[in-house]
Structure 1
Amino acid sequence: MKIEYNRPSADSILNKIKYSSSETNVFRVYLGAAPGTGKTFMMLEDGNYLLEHGIDVVIGYVELHGRKETEAEIKNLEIIPRKKIEYRGSIFEELDAEAVIKRKPSIVLIDELAHNNIPGSVNLKRYQDVVEIYKKGISVFTTLNIFHLNSIAEKVESELEIKVSERVPDYILNYVTEIINVDIPAGELIKRLTSGKIYSKEKIQAALNNFFKIENLIVLREISLRTIADELSAQSNKIGNPDDKIELKSNERVLVLISSNPDSARLLRIGSKLAGRLNSNFYVLHINLKHRENNKSEDYERYLSKNISVAENLGAAVFSFQSDDVVSGVIDFVKTNNISHLVIGATNEKRKFFGIFPKKSIVNRLIDSLPNVSFHVIPTTSAGI
């Protein structure tokens, strides 16, 4: 991954696109600390320059937010028509990934990577659409606020008490080849807001009283710069040519076993971070026991649904299988999908068989049955399954 503290020259962008092979398409992220830093404008400006110099650039999706200067920057860029989806009696517009792939431009500009797609879309999240497009050999320029990265979102919610409903999993960085840091001092961002360059007049005061508090913006900017610095440090330690494209996925596969237990959310976050570090695929499994099929409480269904939602927000592939026994169901899934790491919760509760001899826990039975799998056993406060 190449990270730019300062924006690269237009000529360097042009040369990179012109002389790169079809197998080394670009995944560029314009990263900012908050809305209004100029990410979309800069992306459009770069797209226009490349278009003027013979590169086939199109807009897949751009969110204008009523910003006239951003709208003016579209200029001659072709816009791929959005997909219209009906939901609860209203029509919504989303990125049409299939149309972009069919059009097959050299570069597509796609705003707001962390966007949640409307129900009824092919994918739950826009970043999933973007990855599909990128895998088809199309270069992608996209925008992202730092607090939408899941690990950062957790800190922002706990420390700044700001709800972050749109997120991307940290492993999305495994696909990114370039990050352009679109930095602006907190005071300057406030000026942009109050002058109407970010939101309409009726929304300005509410923004100043909430998200756009000066102390929030200072913290978010520090987080953004620190994240960039960490990535630069990792980049400097990379062996070999730093311009070589990184491998997107390793052969490792991470599985998290979940239930209706509220502790499952913590297991999912641990599994997500592990998958990110390993550059691996991320799976989540719930075993639906047959003998419980007609004996489920409302709390069970509610908590399980909440945990599945967390898993989907973290970008996991979620599976739910019916089985007579948890252990046999997990073993079958692990062997079928070549899982290499299993994250599972465990308590200190000891069960007895016929009231005399200790009965082996689910964790111990799985460890005995899967000697080639690395287990990550996390203490939980109650039974995990």
Structure 2
Amino acid sequence: MPEDTTQEGSLRVYLGYAAGVGKTFKMLEEARQAREQGTDVVIGYFEPHGRQDTIEQSRGIEVVSRKAVLHRGHVFEEMDTEAVIKRHPQVSLVDELAHTNVPGSERTKRWEDVVLLLQNGISVWTTVNLQHLESLNDEILRTTGVRVRETIPDWLIREARELNLVDLPPDALLNRLRRGAVYQPEAVDRALEGFFREPSLVALRELALRQAAHEVEVRESPEPDRKTHEARQGLAVDQDRAAESSERILIYVSSHPSTAKLIRRAKRLSDYLHSDCIAVCLETRSIAHLPPGLRASLERHLGFARSLRIDTRVIEGVRDRATALVEFARMNQVSQIYISRSEIRTWQAFFRRSLVHRLVRLARDLRITVVHDQAKRSPGEGKA
């Protein structure tokens, strides 16, 4: 069988801090310029939101027809990824990277469609807002009071060949919003009560500027190993790799609800430190024999870690979790351990506090970071 020599396409991301800053307009503007210079560009998916200036900017660029998806008696339109692959342009424009596809689509997330285009040798230019980065999910909730449900893994941004920050001062953005240039009039009041409060916009803009600066720093530093780690059984990590970084972060994965927050925080720190990150689950018996609810929570958290390209380990038959965790940490040259602790007073929380205290006693040479989880859901929590 002949070897597949298809060269992957490159990814260009237009990053903004909120809807309406001009990401799609900028992408279309540069696409028109590229097209005039002879680049074969098509629109794989474009969402104008009724903005006339953006619609005008798209004129003259070939549009690949969308795919109709039937869901619960209604017909929705999604990007026809297979049609884009068949057309095989040099560049496909794909708006709203964080979008969740309608149930019944071939892939769950639009970013998965983008990865498929890249794998088929098609370069992709795409748009996304800062709040959709998975590692920032908890920080966005603290800043805006809104829990963003549609997220993308940070590694996708990190692997982009180009990252273009599209910026607009908050007061100018608010003027655009009030004029109806961002959303339809009926949606303006709701937007002003959510993401579009001025203090939130100022904070989001600062966060976007910091994130963009960090990404530039990462690109200018020696190329890190960004490949997905293969999950391996047992305690040992390759010692050559262990010596490459002075920092290695270990995440203790449990069934506790705060584990997702724990994983995000540890992963974000490891990205900033350019260090390795390992997620470890320790169980006294086989996961397959755990109660269904407990097993589902563990598998969900392990899957979440893998989606962020964190190396995961499951160690079964452990007699003492604290001792096993410290032994694993020392064997793998871990410098920090992240563990969760709930504020809810239950026997499980009591056990977890005991585990934390034992870890502190056993691992005086390691830094232990305990992440608290709020018992009450934020009143503003919802989809964004």
Normalised TM-score (structure 1): 0.68
Q: Does the 8 Å CA contact 1:194/1:204 hold for their aligned counterparts?
A: yes
The yes-or-no answer on 1:203 pairing with 2:187 is: yes
CA drift at 1:143: 0.5
Q: Does 1:103 align with 2:48?
A: no
- Asked whether 1:43 is paired with 2:33, we answer no
With over 3 angstroms needed to count, the CA separation of the structure-2 counterparts of 1:191 and 1:367, relative to structure 1, is: closer
Match of 1:162 among 146, 152, 162: 146
Q: Which amino acid aligns with 2:77?
A: E
Distance change (3 Å), C-alpha of 1:272 and 1:169:
farther
Shift of 1:248: 7.5
| Counterpart Cα distance in 1 of 2:64 and 2:284 | 43
Cα deviation, residue 247, structure 1: 7.3
Amino acid at match of 1:30: Y
1:265 and 2:242 equivalent? Answer: no
Deviation at 1:188, TM superposition (A): 0.5
Contact 1:175–1:248 (CA<8 Å) still a contact in 2? no
Q: Does 1:249 align with 2:226?
A: yes
- Supply the distance in 1 between the matched residues of 2:43 and 2:281 (Cα, whole angstroms): 37
Pair 179,88 (structure 1): closer, same or farther in 2 beyond 3 Å: same
Long gaps (5+) in structure 1: 1-21, 240-245, 329-345, 349-360
Contact preservation (8 Å) 1:108, 1:139: yes
1: CA distance, partners of 2:33 / 2:269: 39
2:61 paired residue number? 77
Of 212, 218, 227, which aligns to 2:196?
212
- For 2:312 and 2:69, how far apart are their aligned partners in 1? 26
Correspondence for 1:119? 103
Query: In the TM superposition, what whole-angstrom CA distance separates every residue of 1:289-318 from its partner, at most 9, and x where no partner exists?
Result: 67965x7365x3674576468558x54699
Aligned to 1:54: 38
The CA deviation string for residues 179-235 of structure 1, in whole angstroms up to 9 with x for no partner, is 111111111101111111111111112212222111111111111112222233444
**Structure 2, unpaired ranges of 5+:** 1-5, 233-250, 342-350, 356-384
1:216 alignment partner, SS class: helix
1:189 aligns with 2:173: yes
C-alpha distance 209-309 of structure 1, shift in aligned 2 (>3 A): farther
Q: Which among 215, 221, 238 is matched to residue 231 of structure 1?
A: 215
Q: 1:78 to 1:291 in 2, by over 3 A?
A: closer
Change (3 A) 1:124 1:284: farther
Distance 1:83 1:282 in 2: 40
Shift of 1:35: 0.1
**For residue 92 of structure 1, what is the aligned residue in structure 2?**
76
- Counterpart residue identity of residue 109, structure 1: L
SS of residue paired to 1:193 = helix
Deviations 1:107-157 (A, max 9, x none): 000011111222333333222221221232211111011121122232110
How many angstroms does 1:84 deviate by?
Answer: 2.6
| Aligned alpha-carbon RMSD (Å) | 3.9
How many angstroms apart in 2 are the aligned matches of 1:372 and 1:195?
Answer: 57
Name the structure 2 match of 1:147. Answer: 131
Give the letter aligned to residue 263 of structure 2.
L
CA contact (8 A) 1:253 1:281 kept: no
| Whole-angstrom distance in 2 between the partners of 1:44 and 1:279 | 37
Distance 1:288 1:111 in 2: 47
> How far apart are the structure 2 equivalents of 1:251 and 1:40?
30
User: Structure 1's 87 and 319: CA in aligned 2 closer, same or farther, altered over 3 A?
Assistant: farther
What TM-score comes out, normalization by structure 2 length?
0.68
- SS of equivalent to 2:164: strand
1:217-276 deviation line (CA, Å, top 9, x unaligned)? 11111111122222334444x35xxxxxx6783475578774533353245325644775
- How many residues align? The count is 319
Distance in 2 between the 1:250 and 1:258 partners?
22
